[in-house]
Chain A
Amino acid sequence: MQKLFTPLLILVAAMFAYAPMMILDAPYESTMGLVQKIFYFHASLGMAMFLAAFASGIGSAVFLFSRRPWADHLAVAGAELTSIVGFLVLVTGPLWARKAWGVWWVWDPRLTSTLVMWMIFNAYLLLRRYGGPGSERLAAAVALFGMANVPFVYWSVNVWRTLHPKTSVIPTLVPGMRGAFWFCVVAFLLLTSLLIAMRTELEKRRQQLDELYLAAEE
């Protein structure tokens, strides 16, 4: 993993350098024009957010029931990335919505559940930072509940009329857009995985350092 890390990072950097050109080459959408191009990053970021949230949720569940330290490190890494990537999703979305729907925000299932999920993982990070000793386990329960919660929020607001494009738009993309879109998805998923791996390793070393400090004091 460690050996692969630098080459993969260079690959991701190259992909992000090339992505704007692919997006530029993709055809203009007839009604939205230039603003539609946010979609390439917005939808990819959305997928990356789910990846990070699942990493955190699974890490938390494993940590809660087996107390494996690596699972806790993975949970922190996933939660931090959910917060960062989720913020980008929540910024790019309204930029698109202002042009497509005429408003920055609507209380639509997709938007509401994304916001709730983002808030839950921010609550997780707040608890870890300010909860004092022993807050890892409490935070793990938050992440577990957060994971279980999101499908229900999504489902419960489904009764409202929905504006957000369905996931079914992706297979129906025109061929010129498809290549650029999947290129961005791969780039963002790879970047998120690398950042999760890096942050997991950092958290491991941070906890090792804490333990060494404690051992030195004794």
Chain B
Amino acid sequence: MRFIRDVWTVTRKDLLIETRTREIVLTTMFFALACVMVFAFGFVREGRPVQDAAAGILWIAIAFSGTLALGRAFERERQGETLRALLLAPIDRPALYLGKLLGILILLAAVELLVVPMVALMFQAPLFDYPLLMLGLLAAGTVGFAAVGTLFAAMLVRARSRDVMLPVLLYPLTVPVIIAGVRGTAALLQPEADQPMARMWLAMLLFFDVVFVTISLWTFEPVMTD
């Protein structure tokens, strides 16, 4: 019980700062929109999007803006020297990790609320035909990406050239999530939606989530301890 309260305290702290400044959510949303727009020039022929483009664009926009949000969320801790304070706080390291992860997830959910309808609208993608499956894919994919991302963004706070290092480390490591997310979404966006295929990719995403969160919880303590 105390563990859950600790997790929520960390998350609430991040959300409180964010609701007061709205810095990360606004900049990340705008960045995601800019991403979608740039891709539109690459993947549209004669006014029509090329097949399967929408799924890829959606997930790349999420991955790119996710990296940005992760970087900013921990840059704030670095500037205020508050990460040290958090690490000194009398709470378990896993609680700290989960609290940070939950904060990032809420932020990314807000970004997705904007990006998903935008992609559906601009690329004529039927993203809302199977709302539950699509929601599952988005939720599971975001958890997998953010689980690895939170661990590495937290680690990199004290490293040099952290702005470059985060994407350099994050994209190769989260490749399975991107593959499963894109393939699962593409299966739903086909002219004849392939539901069993999408469910298979969703199951795979859930499996990645379990593995990634477990390894992250396991390595957070030794990595963040001096």
Which A residues between 122 and 136 are near B, CB-CB below 8 angstroms? 123, 126-127, 130-132, 134-135
Is B211's CB under 8 angstroms from A148's CB? yes
Is B108 engaged at the interface, CB distance under 8 Å to the other chain? no
Is A64's CB under 8 angstroms from B165's CB? no
Chain A nearest CB, measured from B149 CB (Å): 12
Is A116's CB under 8 angstroms from B160's CB? no
Which residues in A have their C-beta under 8 angstroms from that of B215? 144-145, 148
Which residues in B have their C-beta under 8 angstroms from that of A141? 151-152, 155, 219, 223
Is A149 engaged at the interface, CB distance under 8 Å to the other chain? yes
Q: CB-nearest residue of chain A relative to B197?
A: A159
Cross-chain contact of A65 among B168, B180, B222 (Cβ < 8 A) = B222
Cα A138 to Cα B159 in complex, Å, equals 9
Cα A139 to Cα B161 in complex, Å, equals 14
Cross-chain contact of A152 among B183, B208, B226 (Cβ < 8 A) = B208
Q: CB-nearest residue of chain A relative to B207?
A: A152
Is A88 engaged at the interface, CB distance under 8 Å to the other chain? no
Q: Give the one of B165, B175, B207, B222 with max A CB within 10 A.
A: B175
Which residues in B have their C-beta under 8 angstroms from that of A64? 219, 222-223
Is B94 engaged at the interface, CB distance under 8 Å to the other chain? no
Is B176 engaged at the interface, CB distance under 8 Å to the other chain? yes
Cα A26 to Cα B54 in complex, Å, equals 50
Is A116's CB under 8 angstroms from B175's CB? yes
Is A195 engaged at the interface, CB distance under 8 Å to the other chain? no
Interface size on A, residues (CB 8 A): 28
Is B169's CB under 8 angstroms from A142's CB? yes
Is B176's CB under 8 angstroms from A142's CB? no
Is A135's CB under 8 angstroms from B159's CB? yes
Cα A127 to Cα B169 in complex, Å, equals 8
Chain A nearest CB, measured from B221 CB (Å): 10
Chain A nearest CB, measured from B78 CB (Å): 13
Cα A148 to Cα B200 in complex, Å, equals 21
Is A146 engaged at the interface, CB distance under 8 Å to the other chain? yes
Cross-chain contact of B222 among A127, A132, A137, A152 (Cβ < 8 A) = A137
Cross-chain contact of A146 among B152, B173, B207 (Cβ < 8 A) = B173
Is A123's CB under 8 angstroms from B155's CB? no
Is A149's CB under 8 angstroms from B173's CB? yes
Is A198 engaged at the interface, CB distance under 8 Å to the other chain? no
Is A123's CB under 8 angstroms from B175's CB? no
Is A132's CB under 8 angstroms from B223's CB? no
Which residues in B have their C-beta under 8 angstroms from that of A65? 222
Is A153 engaged at the interface, CB distance under 8 Å to the other chain? yes
Is A157 engaged at the interface, CB distance under 8 Å to the other chain? yes
Is B179 engaged at the interface, CB distance under 8 Å to the other chain? yes
Is B172 engaged at the interface, CB distance under 8 Å to the other chain? yes
Which residues in B have their C-beta under 8 angstroms from that of A19? none
Is A123's CB under 8 angstroms from B223's CB? no
Which residues in B have their C-beta under 8 angstroms from that of A131? 156, 159-161, 165
Is A156 engaged at the interface, CB distance under 8 Å to the other chain? yes
Cross-chain contact of B165 among A120, A127, A145 (Cβ < 8 A) = A127
Q: Give the one of B148, B169, B204, B226 with max A CB within 10 A.
A: B169
Is A186 engaged at the interface, CB distance under 8 Å to the other chain? no
Q: Give the one of A130, A135, A138, A157 with max B CB within 10 A.
A: A138
Is B172's CB under 8 angstroms from A120's CB? yes
Cα A135 to Cα B164 in complex, Å, equals 14
Which residues in A have their C-beta under 8 angstroms from that of B160? 130-132
25 contacts between A and B (CB under 8 A): A64-B223, A116-B175, A120-B173, A123-B168, A123-B172, A126-B165, A127-B159, A130-B164, A130-B165, A131-B156, A131-B160, A138-B152, A138-B155, A138-B223, A141-B151, A142-B152, A145-B148, A145-B215, A146-B172, A148-B211, A148-B215, A152-B208, A153-B175, A156-B204, A159-B200
Q: Which residues of A contact B (CB under 8 A)?
A: 64-65, 116, 119-120, 123, 126-127, 130-132, 134-135, 137-138, 140-142, 144-146, 148-149, 152-153, 156-157, 159
Top 7 A-B pairs, shortest CB-CB distance: A132-B160, A119-B172, A131-B159, A152-B176, A138-B155, A120-B172, A130-B161
